[in-house]
Structure 1
Amino acid sequence: MASLQDIKRRIGSTKKTRQITSAMQMVSTAKLSQIQRSTTGYHEYAYRIKAVVSHLIENHVLDNVDSSHLPMVDARPVKKTGLLVVTSDRGLVGSYNANIIKKTNALMKEKNLTPENTVILAIGGNGADFYKKRGFTIALEHRGLSDVPNFNEIRQVLKTVISLYEAEAFDALHLVYNHFINRLQSDQQTIQLLPLTKDVVEQAKIDEKKDGQEQTFETKSAYYSEPDSTAVLNVVLPQYIQSLVFEAVLDAKTAEHAASSTAMSSATDSADDLIRRLDLQYNRARQSQITTEITEITGGMVALE
């Protein structure tokens, strides 16, 4: 049986751990509230640009575009596949990273992807480290994302992603990230980003609602562009890709803060339970020691009589 001193030492150590996890929970909760307040407006912008591109597709604007002047719509044979994986840089976020890795591996299995025909583009250190150890080519590795990311932080990332596609480092690109549902739940999602075809845009469309009502946008039966469709698409389509990636990063970061808050809350509760058990163990051991001391004193008194 552990000595009273050992039990007391464990109680003190657990209380210090509880203070740390409780503080981390409060910090994560504050970050979650901050990012939710900061990103509300961007979701509206992202939805509207998705609607614009969807309307362009419906009106066959992409049908006659020369892919040599617009590489993002060039649907070439897929020899290598790029996976843009969004994870966290650190641990202490519960199953957040493990779920993303699991979803990415499931996508690889579905598409028969191997280290030989797959390129990893990692936002977050966990994903980069995991696949680097398993022999995958890491074409992009971005760490140190802010708690509330801004667009300038990933602008260069997006430029690199598009330039890698244009240089044929990969022939198709899929995005894997955590979609925030609520403080206790997130969902792992995959979206194909490149090449931009009608099927890809349709797959990326999200049925969004505002105040319980589905949002709709009035569209014309045809688009008139100046100077020409290619020039317009060269501006709109990169913005569309940027909006998808940046919105996913914001979504993933929100889910990360929620996962961290939940994990630290569970750790704090576990510490409370352990402290209660140790207190009970300490009291029982103390009572046993006192009983033993009383018995020894009584026995000594009897021996003296």
Structure 2
Amino acid sequence: MASLQDIQRRISSTKQTRQITSAMQMVSTAKLSQIQRSGTGYHSYASRLEVVVEHLVSAHLLDNIDAKHIPLIGQRPIKKTGILVITSDRGLVGSYNANVIKQTNALMKKENLNPDNAVILAVGGNGADFYKKRGFNVVLEHRGVSDVPTFNEVRQVLKTTISLYDSEVFDALHVVYNHFVNRLTSEYRDVQLLPLTAETLEKMGGEHKDEHKANFEVQSVYDIEPDSTAVLNVVLPQFVQSLVYEAVLDAKTAEHAASSTAMRSATDSADDLIHDLGLQFNRARQAQITTEITEITGGMVALE
């Protein structure tokens, strides 16, 4: 049985741990609120851009375009598939990283992807380290994403991604990440981003497509100046960059929520442990007092 001093030491160290986890929970909650406020304006812009692209598709602007002049819509044999994996740089986020990696591995198994026919683009250290150890070619690695990432911060990732696709380092691109649902829940998402086709563009309107259209109507017949190819060469890269940046924002929001939940669970566990150790201490102290009284009583009887 542990001594009273050992139990007191454990209670003291557990209280210190609880203070740390409680503080980390408050910090993560504050970061979550900050990124939700910060991302509201960009989500509005991204929604409007999605609607514009949907209307361009409905106007059949992509039907007669020569793919040679717009690489993002070019259809070519898929020799290598790129997977953009968005994870965190650190731990203490519960099952956040494990869920992304587990579901991504399931996607690879389903699509028969392996180090020979797939490359990894990693935003976040956990994903980069995991796939490096398993022999995958990590062609892009970006660590140190800030708590509230800005577009300028992620701009180089976006440019490099499109450049790698244009250079045929990969012929198709999946973006995989945790989507923020609420403070307690996130869900895995897999978006096949490249190449862009009329079918995939129609699917990228998102779950609020009807709401977006109701709030932002765009005509479906266009007068194009100078020509449709020039317009699409401007709009489509912006659209791809918008989707990737929005995925980074979404994933970072889910990361803060996961961190807050994990730290709250750790704090609750520390409280339970402190309570149990307190009961154990009281029982041990009671047993010690009983033993001391018995010894004193026995000594008095012996003296008589």
Task: Quickly name the TM-score band, shorter chain normalised.
Answer: over 0.9
Write out aligned runs for 1:93-108 (5 A). 93-108=93-108
Residue of structure 1 equivalent to 2:218: 219
Residue of structure 2 equivalent to 1:25: 25
Residue of structure 1 equivalent to 2:170: 170
> Which runs of at least 4 in structure 1 moved beyond 6 Å after TM superposition?
none
Instruction: Give the counterpart letter for 2:47 in structure 1.
Output: Y
In the comparison of the two structures, how many residue pairs are matched? 304
CA distance in 1, matches of 2:40, 2:141: 27
CA pair 34-221 structure 1, distance change in 2 beyond 3 A = closer
- 1:46-69 Cα deviation digits (max 9, x unpaired): 011011111111111111222222
1:177 touches 1:252 (CA, 8 Å); kept in 2? Answer: yes
CA distance in 1, matches of 2:160, 2:81: 16
1:22 Cα shift?
Answer: 0.2
TM-score, structure 1 normalization: 0.97
Write out aligned runs for 1:152-191 (5 A). 152-191=152-191
Give the SS at the match of 2:140.
strand
Instruction: Give the counterpart letter for 2:31 in structure 1.
Output: K
Residue of structure 2 equivalent to 1:256: 255
Give the SS at the match of 1:30.
helix
Write out aligned runs for 1:1-305 (5 A). 1-208=1-208, 215-305=214-304
1:117 Cα shift?
Answer: 0.4
With 145-154 and 64-73 compared, the bigger mean Cα shift is at 64-73
- 1:248-288 Cα deviation digits (max 9, x unpaired): 11111111000000000000000000000001001100110
2:55 touches 2:220 (CA, 8 Å); kept in 1? Answer: no
1:103 Cα shift?
Answer: 1.5
- 1:25-61 Cα deviation digits (max 9, x unpaired): 0000000011111111111110110111111111111
List alignment gaps of at least 5 residues for structure 2. none
Give the SS at the match of 1:182.
coil
CA pair 38-113 structure 1, distance change in 2 beyond 3 A = same
CA distance in 2, matches of 1:167, 1:100: 27
Give the SS at the match of 2:174.
strand
1:202 Cα shift?
Answer: 2.0
1:180 touches 1:187 (CA, 8 Å); kept in 2? Answer: yes
List alignment gaps of at least 5 residues for structure 1. none
Give the SS at the match of 1:38.
helix
Instruction: Give the counterpart letter for 1:57 in structure 2.
Output: V
1:109 Cα shift?
Answer: 1.4
TM-score, structure 2 normalization: 0.97
2:14 touches 2:274 (CA, 8 Å); kept in 1? Answer: yes
CA distance in 2, matches of 1:164, 1:201: 21
CA pair 45-271 structure 1, distance change in 2 beyond 3 A = same
Instruction: Give the counterpart letter for 1:11 in structure 2.
Output: I
1:84 touches 1:176 (CA, 8 Å); kept in 2? Answer: yes
